[in-house]
Amino acid sequence: MSNVTVLNVLLYGNPVGTLTLLSGDRIIFAFNKEYINDPRRPTLSLSFKDSQGNLITSLRPTQTKAPPFFSNLLPEGHMRRYLAERADLSEEREFFLLWVLGRDLPGAITIEPAEDDAWPDEASERNSEEARKAAKTNALRFSLAGVQLKFSAINETRGGLTIPASGVGGSWIVKLPSREFEGVPENEFAMMDLARRVGINVPQIQLIDVDAIRNLPEGIGKIGGKAFIIERFDRAPGSPIHIEDFAQVFGVYPHSKYKKASHRNIAEVLAAETGEADIAEFIRRLTFNTLIGNADMHLKNWSLIYPDQRSARLAPAYDFVSTIPYIQDDYAALKFSRTKRFDEFTLDELSHLAAKARLPEKAVLEVAKETVERFQQSWAAEKNNLPQPKAVTEAIDAHLKKLPIAKE
């Protein structure tokens, strides 16, 4: 039985710090001296920068949950439960989940035991050696943050997709159909396709038959219909690209992704860390998701990417779904500036956001108006050609009639 209590944290394959399991199931993260003393160190997270841009090195331990940056690397909900069960671990003990899933996390970060090939037998709820070996074989060693069942897949040259047996190394995310809501993959494909037509930065996407996916893990049941797949923008030939979502940026745990910050706060970070193009892209996406009635654009659905390893840019778009056909909602997931109400997302609200976030008001309003115009043209031309269910089309049409910005 292994007694490892230290996990090495690597960024682009280089050690930057350690996660240590303390008594009482407490966890503490510490940067190593080499990373602290490196003047050209790659950025791990904006959450580790103070107001002067210096690295924060005095960090407090957390209880059972990992520190927020690391906790947000793990999946949520059904996906977490599924992967924890396969690895025979408690879904609450995040040190051990990071141990098992840390080889294929979002971005350029990997987490591995200080002792090579160690396995957290001490965290297992099974007593027999045979059962523990089975759990190690069954565990999918990758983590994709989110609730929906998602898997990392390899796009094969002969066509189709294969889920890697080890769960590591895929360059596409496969999102399976929902058992609760009709046509979610078709909905997401249609909204992402429409977003690209409006001028939003969208990765490669496809809609494929679930039957075309090979090596789907056991235990998820028989699923038919279509799956939505999207290329991972945190993967590139030869090297991963680091990313972090805004729950990580703000040091917020996943369960608070609908609280603690607003779209105005996101805009303030973009104004401080990025440039005009990213701010325009942010306003474009904010406007678009209001128009389609996406009430689920929470902190984890906005991300930064670090193409040069140090400087932040707004990451490509993901998780655009019209949610109003499934759950009627008049409110966005986060406040815009003063309000969450879709029908109060107006040019005046955007002017207030621009003023508070110190964005150029004229440019913000021009981008919003241009997005509305391009959306209306694309929606009118393509809504009957896109694959979303009829209920989605009807819900968006009814929603648009309530929005002043669609008429301004």
Which are the contacts of 290, defined by CB distance < 8 A and separation ≥ 6? 332, 342, 345, 403, 405
Residue 324's pLDDT is 97
Q: Quick one: tokens of 402? A: 């309530």
121-128's contacts with Cβ under 8 Å and 24+ in sequence apart are 121/1, 121/2, 122/1, 122/2, 122/3, 123/89, 123/90, 123/93, 123/96, 124/88, 124/89, 125/88, 125/89, 125/90, 126/88
Which are the contacts of 294, defined by CB distance < 8 A and separation ≥ 6? 191, 320, 321, 322, 323, 332
Residue 282's pLDDT is 98
SS3 of residue 200 by DSSP: coil
Rounded to 10°, the helix 184-198/361-382 angle is 130
Q: From CA 48, how far away is CA 249, in angstroms rounded?
A: 9
Q: Which residue, chain included where needed, has tokens 């306003």?
A: 283
- Can you count the helices (H) and strands (E) in the chain? 12, 16
In sequence order, which ranges of 102-224 are alpha helices (DSSP H)? Answer: 129-138, 184-198
Q: What is the pLDDT of residues 108-123, one digit of tens each?
A: 999 999 876 666 766 6
- Which residues are catalytically annotated? 296
Residue 85's pLDDT is 85
351-357's contacts with Cβ under 8 Å and 24+ in sequence apart are 353/263, 353/264, 353/267, 354/267, 356/264, 356/268, 357/264, 357/267, 357/268, 357/271
273-278's contacts with Cβ under 8 Å and 24+ in sequence apart are 273/46, 273/304, 273/311, 273/312, 274/312, 274/313, 274/314, 276/360, 276/363, 278/313, 278/314
Q: From CA 365, how far away is CA 253, in angstroms rounded?
A: 32
Q: From CA 270, how far away is CA 282, in angstroms rounded?
A: 8
Q: From CA 373, how far away is CA 169, in angstroms rounded?
A: 40
Residue 221's pLDDT is 56
pLDDT tens, N- to C-terminus, the chain (408 residues): 445 589 999 999 999 999 999 999 999 999 999 999 999 999 999 999 999 999 999 999 999 999 999 999 999 988 888 888 888 888 999 999 999 889 889 999 999 998 766 667 666 655 556 655 666 666 666 667 777 778 888 777 556 777 776 667 688 999 988 888 999 999 999 999 999 999 999 999 999 998 888 877 766 656 778 999 999 999 988 789 999 999 999 999 999 999 999 999 999 999 999 999 999 999 999 999 999 999 999 999 999 999 999 999 999 999 999 999 999 999 999 999 999 999 999 999 999 999 999 999 999 999 999 999 999 999 999 999 999 999 999 999 999 999 999 987
Q: From CA 5, how far away is CA 357, in angstroms rounded?
A: 43
Residue 1's pLDDT is 40
Residue 257's pLDDT is 97
